[in-house]
Amino acid sequence: MNQEKIFTEIFLPLYGHMFRAATAILGRNSSEAADAVQDAMVKIWNFRAALSRVENPEGYAISAVRSSAIDILRKRHSSENIEDILNLSDGHPPDHDSGDFIERIIASLPVAQQEVIRLSAFENLSNEEIAAITGYTEVNVRQLLSRGRKKIKELYSKFL
């Protein structure tokens, strides 16, 4: 099978799965998720000469989109502080009952914690499934979930 055919018949149909993974990592920002998928597809296309040697195309595609999504998170995270993320700089107390507030708290977590929290909470994935998607061990997933949940509780309580 030629390179273009491998890309169009094997990798392009994975777009939906890649988009869901990017959304789980980046939160509900669909434009950033689409950017992450597009970036991952470009990386895959640039690697097209070796696509015939990829044994697990779905795993490779998810790994590529995960990498792109984490790059986006790092760029976003490096330019924000907790008050900006939680929109507290205007002096108004946040609406604690809004999903947006919780989403902003999650966005303030380290990238790895954000990723596993979103996969667990929004995608309802088991620790085993999260480990398979992220490449972390199940023990590491449990640890990241525990630390992330603790930090969410701490930040939520701080702004009550």
What pTM does this model have? Answer: 0.58
In eight-state DSSP terms, residue 109 is S
73 within 8 A of 32, measured Cβ to Cβ: no
User: Hey, CA dihedral for 72, 77, 78, 83, is it positive or negative?
Assistant: positive
Three-state secondary structure along 46-98?
HCHHHHHHCCCHHHHHHHHHHHHHHHHHHHHHHCCCHHHHCCCCCCCCCCCCC
21 within 8 A of 133, measured Cβ to Cβ: yes
89 within 8 A of 83, measured Cβ to Cβ: yes
User: At a CB cut-off of 8 Å and minimum separation 6, what does 131 contact?
Assistant: 137, 138, 140, 141
Task: Report how far residue 121's alpha carbon sits from residue 124's, in angstroms, rounded to the nearest whole number.
Answer: 5
Asked whether residue 93 carries a pLDDT value surpassing 70, the answer given is no
pLDDT tens digits, 35-85 = 999 999 999 999 888 888 889 999 899 999 998 988 888 777 654 555 555
Asked whether residue 145 carries a pLDDT value surpassing 90, the answer given is yes
Phi-psi region of 27 (alpha: psi -120 to 50; beta: other; left: phi over 0): left
Q: Could you tell me what percent of the chain has a pLDDT over 70?
A: 85
pLDDT tens digits, 4-31 = 899 999 999 999 999 998 988 887 778 8
H/E run at residue 5: helix 3-6
Mean per-residue pLDDT for 113-117?
90
- Predicted pLDDT at 131: 87
Task: Report how far residue 51's alpha carbon sits from residue 5's, in angstroms, rounded to the nearest whole number.
Answer: 10
